[in-house]
Chain A
Amino acid sequence: MKVSNNCAGCAFFMNDPAKFERTFPGFTVLSSAYGSTRADAGLCTKKDRIFLPSRKACKEFVPK
């Protein structure tokens, strides 16, 4: 069993709630990045896609 890197440890992965809210203007009108429903989801600033931190890292992975 090999432990792989995942998005949580990648420098491109951004899931700070304050930064996340700033990334999506209008997001806070009816939601919040500080709520339970977001869990720890974040934005991959390399691929511009939204992932959970447990996702298996891709070949673009750069350690934090």
Chain B
Amino acid sequence: MSNEKDEVVKSAPPKSRWTDLYLKEDWWAIWLGLFIVLAAYFAFASGSSFVKAISINPGGLKWDNVGQVFAHLGANAPQYIMQYVFWLVFFTVSTAIMGVKPSKFIPSFTLLYIFSIIIFAIGGWKYAQYFNLEPPLVALVLGLILANVFPIPRWLDEGFRVEYYIKTGIVLLGATFPIILIVSAGPVAITQATIISVITCLTIFFVGTRYFKLDKRFASILGMGGAICGVSAAMAGASAVGAKKEHLYSTVTLVVIAALIMIIVLPFASKALGLPAGVAGAWIGTSEFADAAGFAAAVSYGHMVGNENAALHAFTLMKVIGRDIWIGIWSFIFALIACLKWEKEECGVAPSPMEIWWRFPKFVIGFFVASIIMTIITSGYSAAEFSKNVQPNLIVPISSLRTWTFIFCFASIGLTTRFKELKSVGWAATAAFTIGVIVNVFLGWLMSTQVFYGFWSVLQ
């Protein structure tokens, strides 16, 4: 091969993107989510109670004696077994196709399922809300204790697939998200998210390079990780600019630590400030880096104030619709800068605008499709029919299955976090990233509680 500067280079064509339809978890999240939505609808339309039966969970028991939990589990054992088998088959087959060994996934997922039942049960305790035992926080804390105190073998991580579970949950969330709400609220969410993402990313980049003398590639992935979508955005940015392995590893550590802290801090800070659920959801949506961590914080606050829907809706609008779409765009921008300015000779071919699409978080498409499907289905019912029949027999089962995927995700966050495995990070990167986080959280608070308060406070 030759590396002459004047050589005209034509990049080899990438492998077919059609394989993404079965090799990427975003698409599997869509397939599973839409399968559940359609199965729930056909069961509802035909009068079958099968989907309703397997959507059972012990989260609403309000028990004050552990015996009640065991009695509930015993009386409904067939339903729980069917549900477990359903999740197990779908997740095992799909992950096996993607390349995960079933011999590792099956025992891991089985443990996760049992752990999730325990979390649901704790959340269903009569005094859980009084003691702030919100399921996401319980899942996180218990998971962290298990992963860091007991020697959980690392191969078990094969079943603790945080991202796959949250993506599936987001697609299911679309089914309970009126499309009209997305259309009406989307512009505000995108405006707020765009302003904050741009300012935060540029803050980290310029502070990092100018004052802390960080490598520009490192600063760019720190900026993307802190402004857009945590580790996923950092990963996308890293390959766009050709970042060093140690830089991505450091960014992973900073994002994980900061995100875990904010899962705990943001709900309690929102409560101390007395924020309406929608306002807190928007603030969390602009402050948390990763979807999984943000949903944990938003669901926790929703439970605390008894308005989970408003917190979830605001968070989703802000994070999923407002911020996640930036991943591909920022990657493309940084790839262009890296190629045309930082390393002209190594680059070879200019980045393709198609990168924006390749890196687009495809599960968002499933979210929109689920929302459109369910909006069309439910539009034919009167308000009275909806409350009496559609809500309990169609919407509630889908919401319950969505809650399961969320709990799988929250539990997995704790179970995969081993502090001793995280990299020690230098003070300069930590300082640049921390400044960015402070700017991000402050701007999120300012825009959610001052600029757009009237909008977010009435969101349901």
Residues of chain A touching chain B, judged by Cβ–Cβ distance below 8 Å, are 1-6, 8-9, 16-18, 23-43, 48-59, 61
Task: With A26-B416, A30-B290, A42-B239 given, name 10 new contacts (CB 8 A).
Answer: A17-B98, A26-B421, A29-B252, A29-B256, A36-B358, A50-B238, A50-B243, A50-B244, A51-B242, A56-B348
B216 → chain A closest CB, angstroms:
14
Partner of A54, one of B11, B236, B292, B361: B11
Instruction: For A59, list chain B residues within 8 Å (CB).
Output: 3
Instruction: For A38, list chain B residues within 8 Å (CB).
Output: 232, 235-236, 239, 359
A39 to B252, CA, bound (A): 18
A27 to B156, CA, bound (A): 15
Q: B239 contacts A41, CB within 8 Å?
A: yes
Query: What are 11 contact pairs spanning A and B, CB under 8 A?
Result: A2-B10, A29-B256, A29-B417, A32-B161, A34-B161, A39-B358, A49-B243, A50-B239, A51-B239, A54-B11, A58-B3
Residues of chain B touching chain A, judged by Cβ–Cβ distance below 8 Å, are 1-3, 7-12, 14-15, 20, 23-27, 98-100, 157, 160-164, 167, 229-233, 235-236, 238-240, 242-246, 248-249, 252-253, 255-256, 259, 289-290, 292-293, 327-328, 346-349, 355, 358-363, 413, 416-418, 421-423
Q: B100 contacts A25, CB within 8 Å?
A: no
Partner of B235, one of A9, A37, A49: A37
Q: A31 contacts B349, CB within 8 Å?
A: no
Chain A residue with minimal CB distance to B231?
A31
Chain B residue with minimal CB distance to A39?
B358
Known contacts A37-B229, A54-B11, A58-B346: A30-B236 contact under CB 8 Å: no
Q: A36 contacts B245, CB within 8 Å?
A: no
Instruction: For A8, list chain B residues within 8 Å (CB).
Output: 12, 14-15
Q: B161 contacts A6, CB within 8 Å?
A: no
Q: A24 contacts B161, CB within 8 Å?
A: no
Instruction: For B8, list chain A residues within 8 Å (CB).
Output: 1-2
Chain B residue with minimal CB distance to A3?
B10
Q: A17 contacts B99, CB within 8 Å?
A: yes
A18 to B100, CA, bound (A): 8
A23 to B160, CA, bound (A): 17
Instruction: For A42, list chain B residues within 8 Å (CB).
Output: 239
Q: B349 contacts A49, CB within 8 Å?
A: no
